[in-house]
C-alpha cells in the first residue's frame, strides 16, 4: 500500500512539472508572437538544440554536471559525519562553533578570486567553491538535528546494549537524514548559481561559459538553450534528491501522512 502511494505521488510530481513546463513554453511562444522580438527564439528551436546529439550543449552540460555532482558528493561525505560528531560532542562544538558562525553567513562566491590565485584556474577551484557552499548548509543542518535527538532514543539503544557506533548508525543518522535532504534541496539553487559564476571566468568549458560566450557573440539561440540546459540540470538534481529521500526516508513520509 505504501509502495503504491509512493509511486502515485512520484508520478503526480512529474506530471505537475511537465504541466508547468508546458505553460511556461506556451507563455514564451505567446510573448514572441505578440512582441515580434527578433532577438528571442521560440521554445521549439531551443528543444531542437537540447535534443540534438551534435549540439555542444551536451559537451558543456556534462562538464557542468560532473562539477556539481562531485561537489555535492564531497559536501555530503564531509558535512554529515562532522555535523553528527559536533552535534553529540558539546565541548568540541563549543570550540568549533565560532568558526562556523564566522564563515557560514559569508557568500562563498566572494572567495572566487582568492581560490583562483591559490589553486589555479582548473576544475579544483570551481569544485571547491561549490563544495564550500553546500558543505556549511549540510554541516549546520546535521549538527542542529543531532543536537535535537530526544534523550529517550539514546537511552533505548543503550538499554539494548548498543554502543556509540550503534547509536550513530541506527538512531542518530536516520533521525538526521530528513533534515539533511531538506538542506540539500535548499542548497541546489545556490550551488547552481555558484556553478554559473565559477564557469563564467577563466574557462572554456561548462554551461556558464557557454551562456556568457554565446551572449558575447550575439548567439541568442545558443545562449537561451544553455540557460535552459542549466535549468534542466538544477531540476534533475532536485528530482534526484527527492527520489533518494523517498527511498531512504520513506518511514518519515509515512509518519507525516499518518
CATH number reported for the structural domain that contains residue 165 in this entry:
1.10.3720.10
47 located within any domain: no
* 187 and 84 inside one domain: yes
* 90 and 32 inside one domain: no
CB 197 within 8 A of CB 208: yes
97 located within any domain: yes
* 220 and 196 inside one domain: yes
Query: What whole-number distance in Å separates Cα of residue 66 and Cα of residue 207?
Result: 12
The pLDDT assigned to 11 comes to: 54
* 29 and 145 inside one domain: no
Query: What whole-number distance in Å separates Cα of residue 85 and Cα of residue 90?
Result: 9
Q: How many CA atoms lie within 13 A of 30 on its CB side?
A: 6
* 35 and 63 inside one domain: no
pTM: 0.82
pLDDT in tens, 117-148: 998 888 999 999 999 999 999 999 999 988 88
The pLDDT assigned to 1 comes to: 46
* 3 and 73 inside one domain: no
181 located within any domain: yes
CB 145 within 8 A of CB 176: yes
Low-confidence ranges of the chain (pLDDT < 70): 1-14, 37-38, 153, 155-157, 159-163, 251-258
| CA-closest candidate to residue 241, choices 182, 160, 158, 156 | 182
207 located within any domain: yes
* 248 and 174 inside one domain: yes
Domains of the chain: total = 2
* 165 and 215 inside one domain: yes
The pLDDT assigned to 73 comes to: 94
Our measurement of the distance from residue 104's CA atom to the centroid of its chain's CA atoms, rounded to an integer in Å, reads: 17
* 94 and 4 inside one domain: no
129 located within any domain: yes
* 35 and 60 inside one domain: no
* 191 and 76 inside one domain: yes
50 located within any domain: no
The pLDDT assigned to 47 comes to: 83
Domain that holds residue 8: 1-40
* 35 and 124 inside one domain: no
49 located within any domain: no
Amino acid at each position: 500500500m505504501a509502495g503504491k502511494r509512493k509511486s502515485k505521488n512520484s508520478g503526480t510530481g512529474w506530471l505537475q512539472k511537465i504541466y508547468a513546463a508546458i505553460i511556461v513554453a506556451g507563455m514564451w511562444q505567446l510573448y514572441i508572437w505578440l512582441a515580434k522580438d527578433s532577438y528571442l527564439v521560440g521554445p521549439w528551436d531551443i528543444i531542437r538544440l537540447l535534443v540534438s546529439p551534435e549540439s555542444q550543449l551536451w559537451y558543456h552540460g556534462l562538464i557542468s554536471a560532473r562539477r556539481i555532482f562531485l561537489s555535492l558528493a564531497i559536501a555530503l561525505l564531509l558535512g554529515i559525519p562532522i555535523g553528527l560528531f559536533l552535534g553529540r560532542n558539546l565541548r568540541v562544538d563549543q570550540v568549533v562553533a565560532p568558526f562556523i558562525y564566522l564563515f557560514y553567513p559569508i557568500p562563498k562566491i566572494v572567495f572566487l578570486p582568492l581560490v583562483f590565485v591559490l589553486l589555479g584556474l582548473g576544475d579544483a577551484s570551481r569544485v571547491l567553491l561549490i563544495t564550500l557552499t553546500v558543505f556549511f548548509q549540510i554541516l549546520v543542518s546535521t549538527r542542529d538535528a543531532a543536537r535535537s535527538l530526544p534523550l529517550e532514543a539514546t537511552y533505548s539503544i543503550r538499554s539494548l546494549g548498543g554502543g556509540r557506533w550503534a547509536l550513530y548508525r541506527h538512531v542518530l543518522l536516520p533521525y538526521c537524514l530528513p533534515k539533511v535532504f531538506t538542506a540539500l534541496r535548499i542548497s541546489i539553487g545556490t550551488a547552481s548559481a555558484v556553478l554559473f559564476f565559477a564557469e563564467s571566468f577563466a574557462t572554456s568549458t561548462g554551461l556558464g561559459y557557454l551562456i556568457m560566450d554565446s551572449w558575447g557573440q550575439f548567439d541568442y539561440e545558443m545562449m537561451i538553450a544553455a540557460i535552459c540546459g542549466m535549468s534542466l540540470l538544477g531540476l534533475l538534481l532536485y528530482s534526484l534528491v527527492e527520489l533518494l529521500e523517498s527511498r531512504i526516508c520513506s518511514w518519515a513520509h509515512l509518519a507525516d501522512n499518518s
